[in-house]
A = this chain, B = another copy of it.
Amino acid sequence: MSIRYFILGLLTRQPMSGYDIKRCLEDFEWLISSPSFGTLYPALHMLLEDGLVSMDLVPNEGRPPRKVYSVTLAGRQALQGWVDESLEDDLSLKSFLMRLMLAENLSQAELVDCLQQRRSQVALHQRCLEEDPPEGEEGGADLGRHLAQGYGRSIAAAELAWLDRAIEGLSQTSISLDSVERETPVQA
């Protein structure tokens, strides 16, 4: 997923400092680990060097001045290019959530497609978790497996429910031309 472009994408929502980015990502730390400053700051420096973001120094009484980064035109173009060519990447929970956060940089069709891809992924693995069987002779053994599967099933059910709602919601928002001719992609 390349954290560089993820940061770039976050900055399209609004200019932020490195510290701000950390803060806004922290709300999701229980789901996906948020990058440390050791990752964040160098990444911002690189974006700046490459001209994909610009920086404004905002003085700050008694503290180091805040460095607020904004996406440049070149940055927007680079992001667009990257979005287009990374559409077939994996959709593990982490990359999925990251892409969700960058929803505004995706066309509606791309976004719906992304949700549907994730849906089929989760549905696939949910079926695997449904197979609890090996029971019988072993009795209640393998508590760990049992707990992990139960946990997985609960999360999967909730996620599928959310995805269905989201897909429906997004599909209805604009009943434009292409939503009609679009086929619903694979999802067994």
Residues in A lying within 8 Å of B, measured CB to CB? 13, 27-33, 91-94, 97, 100-104, 121-122, 124-125, 128-129, 140, 142-159, 161-162, 164, 166, 176-178, 180-181, 183, 186-188
Are B97 and A186 in contact, CB atoms less than 8 angstroms apart? no
Are B146 and A177 in contact, CB atoms less than 8 angstroms apart? yes
Q: Given A33-B94, A164-B188, 12 other A-B contacts at CB below 8 A? A: A27-B128, A30-B156, A31-B155, A97-B151, A100-B144, A101-B144, A104-B144, A147-B180, A154-B158, A154-B183, A158-B159, A158-B186
Nearest residue (CB) in B for A181 is: B150
5 tightest CB-CB pairs across the interface, nearest first?
A158-B158, A154-B162, A103-B144, A101-B144, A27-B128
Nearest residue (CB) in B for A127 is: B27
A141 to chain B, nearest CB (A): 8
In the complex the two chains form, what is the Cα distance from A124 to B156 in whole Å? 22
Please give, as numbers and ranges, the residues of chain B lying within 8 Å of A154 by CB-CB distance: 158-159, 161-162, 183, 186
A166-B147 contact given A33-B92, A92-B30, A155-B155, CB 8 Å threshold: yes
Among B29, B144, B161, contact of A186 (Cβ-Cβ < 8 Å): B161
In the complex the two chains form, what is the Cα distance from A150 to B166 in whole Å? 9
In the complex the two chains form, what is the Cα distance from A144 to B150 in whole Å? 30
In the complex the two chains form, what is the Cα distance from A187 to B27 in whole Å? 18
Are A93 and B31 in contact, CB atoms less than 8 angstroms apart? yes
